[in-house]
Structure 1
């Protein structure tokens, strides 16, 4: 049995391949390489497995706000999104991968994002925010659940953007999206200065969003895929702007996690960290930075930075074997 999961990430598209017991391989292709035709997702998959052996594949794409259940790819209209706008920098790499998979005649299901039309979410979150998280956050949460067996937790995905999710009684109940809450490396919330810039026509909302993370504080302006490395290099050298940027990002993440804990109906079992920054120990120990605020009150677990792709493969495996509810989300299969 072979199952494949895909994470439509900010800097690249990741794939995980697994059998019934373990992960066999994880690989990543850059958006730029995919768009330019330098790398084919299907070719990369076929180098590792016989495509005819794939029993089920789970993919994520963009905001996922056009669907609210896990659906076969052929039943999904407009790639499962309402609009490509408001999604950060658009390179077209993810679109190329989607098209490849669509034309490959594979058994594929798509995960929805978290948004106001998802009836399993807490109605207060649905009223507060039109969009909460993109689809790969669902697979991240599923991987976190399988790793910890925690029914009540906050899952923090900290990388190019920061999205924190609240899980109660084994179901996703709410989340705070990158444009509303904590900073990531690249993306962050739109503050008053940015709103004024948008109104005055100086920058678009997407341009503001794509420079509102820690890079704003450190004055880093580069390709999205290179921003993290540049910031961390500055941090390693003790650059005061970079140190302030990272410390500020950690503070905003702690604030967001604390807010989700405060509104949880249950006592949480712990906090799960993932993402390229959330799982990092050097040169930034993100877990230690957070615990400075939480004073080790909550148990913290770190899972793989590739948890989006791994969790998607695990969802594929479990759906193929009969599961019809994923963290509160219904499955049409």
Structure 2
């Protein structure tokens, strides 16, 4: 038996193929532009790597996931599980192409919801404060973190194109801080006063501001989303002062966000899980060492795979197939 997990990420769509005993058989990523153009087919790539007759269940994430609040079979989710694609960062259409392929396949598939104001599993204070807290892959990332650490009370820091930090308490997601609200990522970040003025005066849309509010804003980098991280790190290695300031600022904002989530946790935090292409980085800087300068050894820090979104989704597929009725406080409904 095999299980598949899909992470609908910002720069690409990642897949994990896993055996029944949780052995990772393969992890791969499809570039969004390649998917949109038809250059690469998700189904073809999967068929090269596994026999579909052996796949018992696939778990996928898509966009904001704000149109539903339970883990459901794909045919029970309306409108691909989203209220709107607007305001969700740069849209390429690559993820839509992959979703269409998977939806028309014969692979049994479930969808993972995002965390939003209609999520019954979350602390009501978070739902009252924020209309949206995290997209669905943050659920699968958190599940992989739970499996990797065995902790019950911890914070997940997912740092890549955007930064989202998630609070898990008593093995349930209590709440999270979305990318447009708190810490910077490489590309996306919080909308501040200057940006609000740009929006009000018609110079930029809110989405344009959000999509250029991360570390790239400080470093003065623009272009294709998939290339921005590499450009920033190249500039950093070459001693560019703006790139160094951008990375240092990103780390500072993440530290503030983690500390804020710790404050509202009723239990003692067992540790911080770091993931994402930046959060798990050891070169050209070690993210764990850099952020620990703020924490001064207060927390145990654990870095997990930057592909934790796809891995966690495969773990969810496996556990749901084997009868799990709840994932991190989110109800599973296969009826």
If the length of structure 2 is used for normalisation, what is the TM-score? 0.99
Q: Distance in 2 between matches of 1:94 and 1:51?
A: 21
Q: Distance in 2 between matches of 1:14 and 1:284?
A: 24
Question: Over residues 268-302 of structure 1, what are the superposed CA-to-partner deviations in whole Å (9 max), with x where a residue is unaligned?
Answer: 00000000000001002111111000001110000
Count matched residues: 333
* Residue in structure 1 matched with residue 303 of structure 2 by the alignment: 302
* Residue in structure 2 matched with residue 256 of structure 1 by the alignment: 257
Secondary structure in 1 matching 2:227: helix
1:54 aligns with 2:55: yes
* Residue in structure 2 matched with residue 19 of structure 1 by the alignment: 19
Secondary structure in 1 matching 2:27: strand
Secondary structure in 1 matching 2:56: strand
Aligned-pair CA distance for 1:78: 0.2
Question: Over residues 160-218 of structure 1, what are the superposed CA-to-partner deviations in whole Å (9 max), with x where a residue is unaligned?
Answer: 00000000000000000000000000000000000000011101111100000000000
Aligned-pair CA distance for 1:50: 1.3
Aligned-pair CA distance for 1:52: 1.9
Question: Over residues 195-242 of structure 1, what are the superposed CA-to-partner deviations in whole Å (9 max), with x where a residue is unaligned?
Answer: 000011101111100000000000001110000000000000110000
* Residue in structure 1 matched with residue 193 of structure 2 by the alignment: 192
Secondary structure in 2 matching 1:206: helix
Aligned-pair CA distance for 1:105: 1.9
Q: Distance in 2 between matches of 1:33 and 1:176?
A: 31
1:287 aligns with 2:288: yes
Aligned-pair CA distance for 1:20: 1.4
Secondary structure in 2 matching 1:151: coil
The 5-angstrom pairing of residues 1-333 of structure 1 reads 1-21=1-21, 22-333=23-334
Q: Distance in 2 between matches of 1:332 and 1:105?
A: 20
Q: Distance in 2 between matches of 1:105 and 1:92?
A: 22
Secondary structure in 1 matching 2:166: strand
Q: Distance in 1 between matches of 2:58 and 2:134?
A: 21
Structure 2 unmatched runs, 5+: none
Q: Distance in 2 between matches of 1:308 and 1:106?
A: 20
Q: Distance in 2 between matches of 1:11 and 1:323?
A: 31
Aligned-pair CA distance for 1:53: 1.5
Structure 1 unmatched runs, 5+: none
Aligned-pair CA distance for 1:30: 0.5
Q: Distance in 2 between matches of 1:247 and 1:100?
A: 40
Secondary structure in 2 matching 1:4: strand
Aligned-pair CA distance for 1:34: 0.2
Aligned-pair CA distance for 1:5: 0.1
Secondary structure in 2 matching 1:154: strand
**Runs ≥4 residues deviating over 6 A:** none
